[in-house]
Structure 1
Amino acid sequence: MRRVVVVLLIVGVLISCTPITAGNPDSTGAEIVAVYPNPVVDGDAGEYVILSVPEDTDLTGWTLSDDDATVALPNVTASGRIAFSTDPDRARSLTDATVYGLDGHLALANSGENLTVSDGREVVARISYRDAPEGEIERVEDDRITWELLGGTDFPIRTAGPGQVRTFVLPDAGGLPSDVLASADDRILLAGYTFSSRTAANALIAAEERGVDVQVLLEGGPVGGMSTAQAELLDRLAANGVTVRIVDGPYARVDHHHAKYAVVDDRALVLTENWKPAGTGGASSRGWGVLLTQRNLVADLAATFQADFGWRDAVSWERFREGEKFSEGGRTDGEFGQHYRPETHRATGAALLVAPDNAESSVIDRLDAAEASIHVIQVGVGGPDQAFVRALKRAAERGVDVRLLLSRAWYAAEENRAVAEDLERWADRADASLSVRLARPRDRFEKIHAKGVVIDGEEVLVGSLNWNDHSARENREVVVALEGRGPAGYYERVFRGDWRAAVWRLSIGLAATVLVAIVVATLVGRRIEFNGSVGVSAAREDDPVDAAIEEGF
């Protein structure tokens, strides 16, 4: 008997010492279901607690307490989810729950609190939290607590079946994106990072004038600031009835709205390029783009747009520009020939990937499944230890032919050379099949801005996702994955042409290969030209000797 008493006492002590995280102590049905203690504004203005109560619950005499104070809840009859805040006006912009103000001072500590709700007789709900991340809300479900970014989306990977797709690259097809805008009959949902294309602006205004529903969503804080040219164009759009919203302010749920796409009627245009002359206008950058017709994917992209366009961090252009200062942007007016024409293909399948929701894991899963080849074109990769690069290393170690083509533009060259050298040393040590080159545009384009991957010659990824951890985890990015040898083969041809034109350093083995190739070329009467002091091949894209050199390492 004594043993039983001792055991019961020990159990009672353990239960009393167990920290409370969340709970519903009695049968009233009231629960604390969410806490937002650390808003991204000075003074944590707008913090709130959400309580769930049964229908027609009389809150007269109820109180809310933290570790330092107790305040009375308003004498109201409520149902469902209700929020309480000492700054109800600001809190109403942060939650869809009905918000009631609290009399008295109740400050939710960022470091943690124990919160209880009492009905005047006993505690009916309680919750504890620790170390509240800035801008994140704590949610409780089945007594489990999770933190998530306030208003953050959680889109799954959305897929579509076979369908026709139109593939193209820039600058070769410069102007095509604006032509697609100009063809709209019913709607244009345009998402971008920057926007300074007069051609695109004219297409949007003309569409609005003929009754098309035109909505534009852009980033408010691009690197280097928003240009005066962009501000003037957005003024024009707004003055002509186009609805323009800017992702900005303390409630922004992503670091940058970096996506580049448009939903036009029942089609979707997914791009790697910005809406400006250097990008969609074809005056500078190597970019990739695709026009999709799969109904499910178009609807999913429209849903992504509306989720971002309708969130509280998307403010009207008129409101955003008040007191805003703009920078002087540069002008780009290059002209390039058309090496690759747009083509129509049948994709056997497609998927929509978005960051930060699912793109990183989705891309890495595809890289980890590669069996023969992975060919990547990117402005940069952020360093040799980024998640995507680690996936490339794993692929190369198992024998996959991995080729990484990076930008040689002045702002990226130094970092990309360092990354290339690091990866080359690693590949030598690991005896892995990974090659890196910095692009040499020649007469094709001015600089690389594309963000694309071709996997096993059967799948291609096209979109705005830069290959660094920050882009994948903090930005809004949109990528489309297309299955099928048709679309993948198109971008593979472009990649191989740009790869053959790229700069590389002559190792001893490569020098020997080049020497043999020169001898062979001389014997067959063909000519290979070498320009510069670092052994740069300037052979034509279709030169079989150049192709042989390229395939040899």
Structure 2
Amino acid sequence: MRRIAAVILFLCLLAGTAGGIQIVEFCPDPYLSGDPDEYLVIEGTGILDGYVLSDGEGGYRFPPGTRIDGRLVVAKSGPAFEQSHGYLPDFEIQERTPAVPDVIPNGNLQMANRADELFLYHKTTLVQQIAWPGDVCAREGQIHYFKDGVWDPRPLFIGQSCFAPETFEGVAVTAFAAPDCSYEVFSAAVAEAEREILVNVYEFTDEKMAKDLISARERGIAVTVLLEGGPVGGVSAEGRAVAGALNRSGIPVLSMTTTDAAHAKYRYDHAKYLIIDGSTVLLGSENFKPGGYPAAGLQGNRGWGVLLEDTGLAAYFREVFLFDAGGGDIVPLEGTAAELYTPWAPDYTVEFTPCRAEGARVTPVVSPDTSVLILELIEGAKESIAIEQAYITNETACDFNPYLAAAINASRRDVSVRVLLDSVWFNTEGDADNDEMVEVINRLAAAEGLPLEARLADLEANNLNKVHNKGVIVDDRAVLVSSINWNANSPAFNREAGVIIEHPDIAAYYAAVFEDDWNASNKSEASGAPGTDRLKIAAAACILAALTGLYLYRRKRT
């Protein structure tokens, strides 16, 4: 019987059917002119004799005896593929380099950009058929991939990462709010650095934050800064002045942008974080600008941020940073010799000081890789959801933003949902922005009798420049702190960074900040916000403990 089984297994391997060979990835419309780097990937185990790839007009087979054990990449041109991906394929269709073996062509298989089909045959049997449009939606630069029985579970473009979700236990967290105490936490953290600081931020125009990094460099710390090379409106004069000052101090300033060598990995590098000594991460909603990190007692944006102490978590974000900081789309940012300055800002009465807590459970959220975690957070709500956003835009005129839709659906199962949006002029002067969104949400709540309410933030009442936050609190237990805007672009096409923090004290802290903004925005004096007193009491206790926590943190680092 053993001999018979062995013979059967051998015959299956020869037939190439043992490993379930199939197409699992392809890119018909890459960025290079003429698409010489188009490719496909087959996966499985076995001998490829008898297998043919075709587009219905031309095709190819593999040299006799070719074996596959896992993934096998076939590109039109080996050197072009290497230029786009950094390594050579296993086979090429057009003979370009002796380093890559050739398939055996029969006609010309050339994947059309907008509409075409791929067929995988084993002898005369059709094993797999893929069509676009149909199975996937064509878009320049997009890699179509098959995972868990689904094509394109999230958009993936050439050069982008595929980081998996990971959760870290026992993390020490210092929560802070802008404008109250954001700069205080940043400055103290940078001052404690001993070896390395890695910075990734969309925009950097803040004089004092630049000087903090320069001081770190002067005491021997290795500092690297990665910026978005093409923010909306371009890199500002203030941003180029900061880049120049950092460069003159010996700090390399890099930017992510489309170059002759490579297309930018992401539509925008919109993340806002730094990693210190491979053990600490500072992350939040705010750019490194005076409004996001104002000096104590000066007006700024409403934003949330966290300082996270955990080597595993820091290693995760360090890997993200090193991935993003490499490749042909990363070039030095040219700075200027212009003098740095800090613009005038009105006075502000500080209400919130940092809150430190031990033993938190923290899950990174990296867009576009793991943005789905936000949806899962909202869908898992049982009692309450508090949402504070710069803005929310719907996917289409008929379809709600998926995160907002999940929150509305939560209210339909009796979860209390509150949505607070920015009211600055550029978020309210259009015909379909925050004020209309608030009206739509409230009309829906009234029509269906839902525990759902939306408000525009009263910036004057709370002495805020604007609401720039991108935060969510669920069930007074879990908090999203992030750079991820609620639009179609940010979760799917940008590089963004955030964390979901599970800890009651941290949740209470952010809930108190939210309640303060929410109640200040209630002109009717009927807050309808259950639990406000309890949350503020809890947050006050956390704030009282913060001074001791920060003192111990600084003692530990010295």
Determine if the TM-score, normalized by the shorter chain, exceeds 0.5: yes
| Alpha-carbon distance in structure 1 between the residues aligned to 2:89 and 2:78 | 13
Question: In the alignment, residue 134 of structure 1 is paired with which amino acid?
Answer: E
Q: Report what 2:294 is aligned to.
A: 281
Gaps of 5+ in 1: 1-22, 58-62, 515-541, 545-553
Deviation at 1:136, TM superposition (A): 2.7
| Alpha-carbon distance in structure 2 between the residues aligned to 1:453 and 1:141 | 29
| Alpha-carbon distance in structure 2 between the residues aligned to 1:351 and 1:96 | 31
| Alpha-carbon distance in structure 2 between the residues aligned to 1:429 and 1:388 | 21
Deviation at 1:45, TM superposition (A): 4.6
Match of 1:365 among 376, 379, 396: 376
SS of structure 1 residue aligned to 2:362: strand
**Pairing 1:427–2:438 present:** no
Match of 2:160 among 140, 152, 155: 152
CA shift digits 1:446-485 (9 cap, x unpaired): 1111111122212211111112333222222212111121
CA shift digits 1:117-153 (9 cap, x unpaired): 9xxxx99x99975435421335689999879432332
| Alpha-carbon distance in structure 1 between the residues aligned to 2:470 and 2:44 | 49
Q: Report what 2:203 is aligned to.
A: 194
What does 1:496-507 align with in structure 2 at a 5 Å threshold?
Answer: 496-504=515-523
Q: Report what 1:392 is aligned to.
A: 407
| Alpha-carbon distance in structure 1 between the residues aligned to 2:342 and 2:32 | 34
CA shift digits 1:308-348 (9 cap, x unpaired): 22244333335xx8xx9x9xx99563432211111212243
Gaps of 5+ in 2: 1-12, 97-107, 133-137, 528-534, 538-558
Q: Kindly tell me: are residues 116 and 24 of structure 1, through their superposed partners in 2, closer, same or farther at Cα, counting changes over 3 Å?
A: farther
| Alpha-carbon distance in structure 2 between the residues aligned to 1:213 and 1:494 | 35
Q: Report what 1:336 is aligned to.
A: 348
Match of 1:244 among 240, 253, 256: 253
Q: Kindly tell me: are residues 53 and 493 of structure 1, through their superposed partners in 2, closer, same or farther at Cα, counting changes over 3 Å?
A: closer
Q: Report what 1:213 is aligned to.
A: 222
Q: Report what 2:480 is aligned to.
A: 461
The question of whether the paired residues in 2 share the 8 Å contact of 1:218 and 1:257 is answered with: yes
Match of 2:112 among 109, 114, 127: 109
Question: In the alignment, residue 256 of structure 2 is paired with which amino acid?
Answer: V
Which moved further from structure 2: 263-272 or 474-483?
474-483
Return the TM-score normalized by structure 1: 0.73
The question of whether the paired residues in 2 share the 8 Å contact of 1:454 and 1:491 is answered with: yes
Structure number with greater Rg is 1
What does 1:381-530 align with in structure 2 at a 5 Å threshold?
Answer: 381-383=392-394, 385-414=400-429, 415-441=433-459, 442-504=461-523
SS of structure 1 residue aligned to 2:198: strand
Q: Report what 2:100 is aligned to.
A: none
What does 1:199-348 align with in structure 2 at a 5 Å threshold?
Answer: 199-249=208-258, 251-265=263-277, 266-281=279-294, 283-317=299-333, 333-348=345-360
| Alpha-carbon distance in structure 1 between the residues aligned to 2:147 and 2:518 | 51
Q: Kindly tell me: are residues 210 and 71 of structure 1, through their superposed partners in 2, closer, same or farther at Cα, counting changes over 3 Å?
A: farther
**Pairing 1:380–2:391 present:** yes
The question of whether the paired residues in 2 share the 8 Å contact of 1:112 and 1:128 is answered with: no
Deviation at 1:489, TM superposition (A): 0.7
Q: Kindly tell me: are residues 407 and 114 of structure 1, through their superposed partners in 2, closer, same or farther at Cα, counting changes over 3 Å?
A: closer
SS of structure 2 residue aligned to 1:158: coil
Task: Tell me which stretches of 4 or more aligned residues in structure 1 moved more than 6 Å.
Answer: 23-27, 29-33, 50-54, 63-74, 77-80, 125-128, 140-147
Which moved further from structure 2: 290-299 or 307-316?
307-316
Question: In the alignment, residue 116 of structure 2 is paired with which amino acid?
Answer: G
Match of 2:140 among 107, 124, 134: 134
The question of whether the paired residues in 2 share the 8 Å contact of 1:273 and 1:287 is answered with: yes
The question of whether the paired residues in 2 share the 8 Å contact of 1:172 and 1:341 is answered with: yes
Which moved further from structure 2: 403-412 or 273-282?
273-282
Deviation at 1:416, TM superposition (A): 1.2
The question of whether the paired residues in 1 share the 8 Å contact of 2:171 and 2:361 is answered with: yes
CA shift digits 1:92-119 (9 cap, x unpaired): 34242258793599854323366899xx
| Alpha-carbon distance in structure 1 between the residues aligned to 2:224 and 2:503 | 32
